[in-house]
Structure 1
Amino acid sequence: MKLSPAVVHYACKGLTRAQDGTIIRKNRIFPKISRLEMAKHFIAPPPDNLLGTLVTTGRLTREEAELAAQLPICEDITVESDSGGHTDFRPMAPLFSAITELRDRLVSKYGFSSPVRLGAAGGLGTPQAVAAAFVMGAAYVLVGSVHQSAVESGISDSARALLAEAQIADMAATPAGDMLEVGAKVQVLKRGLLFAARAKLLGDLYRNYASLDEIPVKDKTTLEEKVFRAPLDQVWRETQAYLTRHEPKQLEYAKDSPHKQMALVFRWYLGKSSRWAVDGKTERRVDYQIWTGPAIGAFNAWVKDSFLAPLENRRVARIGRNLMEGAAVITRVQQLRAAGFSVEPGTYRFQPRELC
């Protein structure tokens, strides 16, 4: 993958130099990355050929291009490990370490005057995990999965209740609705739901057959009776009506491609399943698509029997404050241990507190 002209244009547009010589950004990009080959593009100046094209076409001034050549595309980059939703399932420790090493080499190579900060995301559901991220050098942390169960998350109470029961191993990788054709996966909640198994069936059928007509009768019956709960022809008509209003180009692609038509029909389920979880559609409860990672399981184990266990008490500020306060306490305990003090194992445990 390479940087697109649009990304470079946005990052570089409006660059100016202050009286003290520092370069001021008008726009900032905050990417989440899980691959070194992507990280290197963001921790480097824009490619000369892209800058030249943007200047030639009038989208950047010559001064903006000259200033852009002295800066990385981004100064705040989030290293994303085993997260909910779209994920490469990378473990945090080796991923963050490798990208830190890459960052240090590139900053030294290009001589950037301002620091390039790395944040951590994915798998952060306890104070221990947050503390470990900061020890590795994270400038900040992002939390996603545990906030899904918060009052402010916007999903239904029934979906939040499912998240509150999740354990670390209750996740599954399923086909991504928006990237079905390329085989991309998303990590979702598996416990108490049938979505993961049904989405996997759709992915298998898409890989094994070139059109809806080729699907065996047995599998087609399963789709119509259990997955879609409607004839495939009806689902296709609904899909056509939706795409006519919102994405007519997709219908053009599907005219001469039965395989594309199959993908669009399957997206009907893969797309609506997320909406059912948000709306709390009772009759579709087993089909909820809830993006989450193992962090929610670790979080549930940590808050068990505490004031954060009940769903009504799970508010973003309380969760965040306890994670950060706990990480600070654990870090201080580790500092004492490093200084030679005897520290009992239980000292590293931080109980959730009503801090706000």
Structure 2
Amino acid sequence: MTMSLDPVAVGARASWGVVPDAVVGPVPTESVRECLEHTAARAGKEATPLGPAADPVVPAGPARRTAGTLGSTAFREEYGVRYAYAAGGMHGGIGPPGLVVRLARAGILSFLGTGGLTRTQIAAALRTLGDRLGPAAPFGVNLTHRPFDPTAEDDVVDAALHAGVRFLEASAYVRITPALVRYRLRGARVLADGRAHAPRKLLAKVTRPDGARLFLGPAPARLVTRLRTEGAITAGEAAAAPLLPMADDLCATGDAGGYTDMGVLPALLPSVIRLRDRFARAFPAAGRVRVGGGGGIGTPEAAAAAFVLGADFVLTGSVNLCTVESGISARAKDLLQGLDVHDTTYAPHGDLFELGGRARVVKKGVLFPARADRLYDLWRLHPSWEAVAPAVRRDVEERYFRDTFDAVYARLRAAAPGAPEPDAKRRMALVFRWYCDGALRLAVAGEAGREVDFQIPCGPALGACNQWLRTTGLGAWQDRHADEVARAMLEGAAPAVGPSAR
């Protein structure tokens, strides 16, 4: 009789060491005895003696996260810092040399705030930093886009190049300017292997994906040609331009203190990372631009979230405002240490007043946001100052300007000799911007009796930071130092960041 075998059943039994008799046939008894004796002899020779059971081998897990291992290793190496963390430049002298020195000595990248400073003041600050830190320290300068005053950008770039500053932070840019390109390409060259090298690093803060696109690609060819024709860059620097992205690092900046597009970091950061990856595939010779996260980084949990989202580094601003090293006045710091997360709002941004730019500022205890909004509405709705109702003009002059409109405008004209006479609407914008800029200077100086006019650029991150630091005994600003806040934030973030995050 023929027996049919189920191959699946045979395979299953064979896998357990059971082979059907129908497959192998009968086995002679003598052969079985010899096989067993042979197996027993081998077992006696080769078996491991009985003893204590060995501990099971457990695969090693990922190393525990620490503050110094968060984020990008390349970021730490290229900037010569201990942490993947940067302190952004702050406008109007709020981020002074003392703050930069404190952070740089702690191995933390920081940027000198230059917005609102004169060329002489910037040069003096850079001399101070050079004397106190030396050229190799991890610090740079901030360059804020000034669409209505392009000479201010040239002043910053000239001072930075003269002082040998290696790092630049670009803020609020809506287009690439000649000043940016000139800094980026200074000393750039094409290497023997065909790649390009730029000795000066550029970190760009972007608030929208279209802003990120500006810095992920090379410098606009028309600007490179123009600068080469003017003799502002060399032939070698121009040849390197098509092989370099405009920035080495991008910081996707959510809703933050100062100029903001009111973005949400968990939406913005992944979008910029994906955009970077697309550019990297299309432009492989330029290398990989790092992407960090900023805006709302005021607690260990917020920093951890940014790293989990894929940030190569984090960047802070508002939390550094309320520290001993900050350049803002003690009166302003007293106000800042009491803020909660809901104590800031939006107001017109002086540098982008006519474009409708907005800035995050303190609202608790001050009237600046409401007053600046009123001025913007007056400018938007009236063709000239004379067209504004007389009662409104008197109120603004007496309470806001504490001077007449005509007297303020006369001083502005005297400060810009040779400039063409603007039209009536532009004159309004110039005077209203003067009020916004002056409100920041009042906060920096801490002028008594003018507290209601203080403009303090600040985001909700500081309110969250205040809550966190009160639990650590650092509720008072006199006890806060920028480097210690940074370390505490990263040390608190490290345990919350999983092994697969950056």
Show CA shifts across 1:100-150 (max 9, x none).
000000001111353211121111000011011111121111110011111
- For 2:434 and 2:179, the matched residues in 1 are separated by 30
Matched residue, 1:96: 269
- For 2:413 and 2:351, the matched residues in 1 are separated by 14
| Correspondence for 1:155 among 328, 338, 345 | 328
Matched residue, 2:342: 169
Q: Does 1:283 align with 2:453?
A: no
Counterpart amino acid of 2:458? T
Q: Does 1:107 align with 2:275?
A: no
- For 1:15 and 1:177, the matched residues in 2 are separated by 34
- For 2:194 and 2:474, the matched residues in 1 are separated by 49
Task: Looking at secondary structure, tell me which structure has more helix per residue.
Answer: 1
Would the alpha carbon gap of residues 276 and 2 (structure 1) be closer, same or farther in structure 2, given more than 3 Å must change?
closer
Would the alpha carbon gap of residues 20 and 92 (structure 1) be closer, same or farther in structure 2, given more than 3 Å must change?
same
Q: Does 1:323 align with 2:492?
A: no
- For 2:175 and 2:475, the matched residues in 1 are separated by 44
Tell whether the 8 Å contact from 1:239 to 1:268 is kept in structure 2 after alignment.
no
Tell whether the 8 Å contact from 1:236 to 1:265 is kept in structure 2 after alignment.
no
Pairwise mapping of residues 3-152 of structure 1 onto structure 2 (< 5 A)? 3-18=176-191, 23-112=196-285, 114-152=287-325
Cα shift at 1:20: 6.5
Matched residue, 1:343: none
Counterpart amino acid of 1:138? A
Pairwise mapping of residues 187-202 of structure 1 onto structure 2 (< 5 A)? 187-202=360-375
Q: Does 1:241 align with 2:411?
A: yes
**More displaced, 145-154 or 12-21?**
12-21
Tell whether the 8 Å contact from 1:72 to 1:112 is kept in structure 2 after alignment.
no
- For 1:249 and 1:329, the matched residues in 2 are separated by 60
Cα shift at 1:46: 2.7
Q: Does 1:253 align with 2:426?
A: no
Counterpart amino acid of 2:343? D
Show CA shifts across 1:44-100 (max 9, x none).
123444444444554444443333222211111111111111110100011111110
Would the alpha carbon gap of residues 53 and 271 (structure 1) be closer, same or farther in structure 2, given more than 3 Å must change?
closer
- For 1:27 and 1:330, the matched residues in 2 are separated by 34
Matched residue, 1:266: 432
The DSSP-based 3-state class of the residue aligned with 1:86 is strand
| Correspondence for 2:398 among 209, 225, 229 | 225
Tell whether the 8 Å contact from 2:321 to 2:328 is kept in structure 1 after alignment.
yes
Tell whether the 8 Å contact from 1:55 to 1:62 is kept in structure 2 after alignment.
yes
The DSSP-based 3-state class of the residue aligned with 2:256 is coil
**More displaced, 211-220 or 103-112?**
211-220
The DSSP-based 3-state class of the residue aligned with 1:282 is coil
Would the alpha carbon gap of residues 67 and 89 (structure 1) be closer, same or farther in structure 2, given more than 3 Å must change?
same
The DSSP-based 3-state class of the residue aligned with 2:354 is helix
**More displaced, 94-103 or 322-331?**
322-331
Q: Supply the RMSD in Å over aligned alpha carbons.
A: 2.2
- For 2:226 and 2:427, the matched residues in 1 are separated by 37
| Correspondence for 1:299 among 428, 440, 465 | 465
- For 1:273 and 1:57, the matched residues in 2 are separated by 39
Q: Does 1:215 align with 2:388?
A: yes
Tell whether the 8 Å contact from 1:150 to 1:315 is kept in structure 2 after alignment.
yes
- For 1:48 and 1:229, the matched residues in 2 are separated by 48
The alignment covers a number of residue pairs equal to 328
Of the two structures, which has the highest relative contact order with CA contacts closer than 8 Å and spacing of 6 or more? 1
The DSSP-based 3-state class of the residue aligned with 2:252 is strand
Counterpart amino acid of 1:27? R
The DSSP-based 3-state class of the residue aligned with 1:100 is helix
Show CA shifts across 1:265-291 (max 9, x none).
222321211111111111101111000
Q: Report the structure number with the largest CA radius of gyration.
A: 2
Cα shift at 1:202: 0.7
Instruction: Normalising by structure 1, report the TM-score.
Output: 0.85
